[in-house]
Amino acid sequence: MAKPAAQALRDLSDAELVERLAQTKEELFNLRFQHVTGQLENHARLAHVKTDVARLHTELRIREIAAAEALAAPPERRRAGENEERAR
């Protein structure tokens, strides 16, 4: 069974994923800045946000690969793949 965070990412649109990635990277930048200046209180948050960035990149890459494979597939397979997607 997929983790709830990963499932939530799968439900987002591409634009929402890109926006969330930008927000998460900005948060990571701010946390790193706080760490360097000695103002960071929750050091575990830094690792958690890094994991979130990686998770977002992974989901975007999965979608990129799926789109490239769909374009490369012969027309018969494209139709079959569309039917499979609808069944999910």
Separation in Å, CA 14 to CA 10, 61, 67, 75: 9, 11, 12, 24
Angstrom distance (rounded) from CA 47 to CA 31: 10
Can you give the pLDDT of all 88 residues of the chain as single tens digits?
A: 457 777 888 889 999 999 999 999 999 999 999 999 999 999 999 999 999 999 999 999 999 999 999 888 777 765 655 555 555 4
In a domain, 77, yes or no: yes
- Residue 54 in any domain: the answer is yes
In sequence order, which ranges of 2-42 are alpha helices (DSSP H)? 4-10, 14-37
d(CA 14, CA 21): 11
Is 8 within the bounds of a domain? Answer: no
The dihedral through the CA atoms of 29, 32, 33, 34 has a sign that is positive
In angstroms, the CA 47 to CA 85 distance is 34
Q: Is residue 7 part of a domain?
A: no
Residue 5 lies in a domain: no
Q: What pTM, to 2 d.p., does this model score?
A: 0.76
44 belongs to a structural domain? yes
